[in-house]
Structure 1
């Protein structure tokens, strides 16, 4: 039998977070005496001193610092349990929010959404296109329920979804195609590279940039494809999205001595799989099945 209640742990953490009993009282909407009594009971049950009060401030003891780390985990897990219960009691979610890296094949994405909507016709879809760590940021901030990203987040629900092949290309009339010998990275640095900007606001992850002085940075993959198609530079682009341009000879792969193609792994992630509603679970299953079928 546990000696302390979850409510006592929450009040203890509130005192720490707000620097004293007065701030904690306002935060948890309890009287100061109630909060003070809860912490005292917690200390008595554990038989250790958690806080030292100096004036109006409360400070953690060494034992308190160690206990707080465990208490935070306990509170977080309890919050997740309550959230799962809330999801189960509410039934089907009204909106499914998904962040998707732009390189993911659109055809597969749309098919998965369509199949999910067949079962849940009233479900609203909120789709956010992202680049690099943009999807991770949205998932971390709980803006979306699911994220498809090339940067895995460990410690949450994260599964490998598919591999995307990128190929170095330029317009058929680009000067790089006029060289008879194989190109190296030093040759490429003398020409303009088109790079897609990381869509995250608090991080910056430049994947595949070679340090070219004439770099042009764009916000969307489609801008990069358009610019390369108009002979404004070279870039590594997803092969599935430019296959028709390679087939009609608008774009031609660069004759590199190494690194002509690159592979990017994509992952399907959510903060807690148990907290997803039935529509989100259905979408995950459909997306995974269709991706496996296409590979």
Structure 2
């Protein structure tokens, strides 16, 4: 029995996808006679009828439906093999490791990752969430290729991304909201503050006002948001991540007499831009452009 070729399978699938030989011809950039001949050779090789032509339309036979499911798997696997070969020939890195401060806006990060993956579909992403110096430490120890952090490292590639606005918030029923006068730092000191721990192990960096005598320290920003939402304390939280809770009146901004908000700059850093692979370069460019929009 003559062997079927991958090109013949692709032409067969094109006829099905486009409803006939004319549409398939345009899709695969071959003449209609070439496409028709390829399908005929398949049918001869398999000794079954794959298509029935009615007018200008081509319809799958019952056997054709079964064969198509198998053929689609074969075509998909072949495409993956070709992608792997292209990736290897271009010298594209297989994995991109990124440390990201938890306060960085997730929609921007996910969009940059998605756009990069469209160009490099086989790229594996290793995303490590960090707080304060955690990302810096991972970059210094060569654990990650890129780091998004609020603490710039001088002497290496460092691009400013965006400013994150923090607001002091508490549950609407928190005692601090019962006061009619504006709140001083002395007033805040009397109540529990929820603080997110620096994820760095070699150094510890404090950010924001931390003067409360009563403090609960957590490892992740989401824990802080949950605790404040359950009226367990107040916290400084990024507005981008709590604005919906404020709108839903699940959180309320504290009426401070000064310093009602504070801004935190975020930076994208790498040890050596020239040593980044093409996928990392693409992600870096996407992230910078999206942050500037």
TM above 0.5 = yes
> 1 CA distance for matches of 2:127 and 2:167?
27
Aligned to 2:248: 248
Aligned to 1:207: 207
Q: In the alignment, is residue 153 of structure 1 matched against residue 153 of structure 2?
A: yes
**Stretches of 4+ moved more than 2 A in 1?**
none
Residue 158 of structure 2 aligns to a residue whose secondary structure is strand
Aligned to 2:173: 173
Aligned to 1:223: 223
Aligned to 1:193: 193
Aligned to 1:43: none
Q: In the alignment, is residue 275 of structure 1 matched against residue 275 of structure 2?
A: yes
> 1 CA distance for matches of 2:213 and 2:187?
12
Residue 122 of structure 1 aligns to a residue whose secondary structure is coil
> 2 CA distance for matches of 1:89 and 1:186?
63
Report the CA distance between 1:90 and its aligned residue.
7.2
Report the CA distance between 1:209 and its aligned residue.
3.9
> 2 CA distance for matches of 1:116 and 1:160?
20
Structure 2: tracts of 5 or more residues without a match: 1-87
> 2 CA distance for matches of 1:256 and 1:225?
19
Report the CA distance between 1:206 and its aligned residue.
1.5
Report the CA distance between 1:292 and its aligned residue.
1.1
Aligned to 1:3: none
Computing the radius of gyration over CA atoms, which structure comes out larger, 1 or 2? 2
Residue 161 of structure 2 aligns to a residue whose secondary structure is strand
Report the CA distance between 1:89 and its aligned residue.
9.0
Q: Deviations over 1:141-161 (max 9, x none)?
A: 000000000000000000111
Tell me how many residue pairs correspond in the alignment: 206
Q: In the alignment, is residue 143 of structure 1 matched against residue 143 of structure 2?
A: yes
Please give the root-mean-square deviation of Cα atoms over the aligned residues, in Å. Answer: 1.3
> 1 CA distance for matches of 2:117 and 2:92?
12
Structure 1: tracts of 5 or more residues without a match: 1-87
> 1 CA distance for matches of 2:233 and 2:114?
36
> 2 CA distance for matches of 1:288 and 1:208?
26
8 Å contact 1:185–1:210 — kept in the other structure? no
Aligned to 1:237: 237
Q: Deviations over 1:226-283 (max 9, x none)?
A: 0000000000100000011000111110000001100000000000000000000000
Aligned to 1:286: 286
Aligned to 1:134: 134
Matches within 5 A, 1:40-79: none
Residue 115 of structure 2 aligns to a residue whose secondary structure is helix
Aligned to 2:93: 93
TM-score (norm 1): 0.69
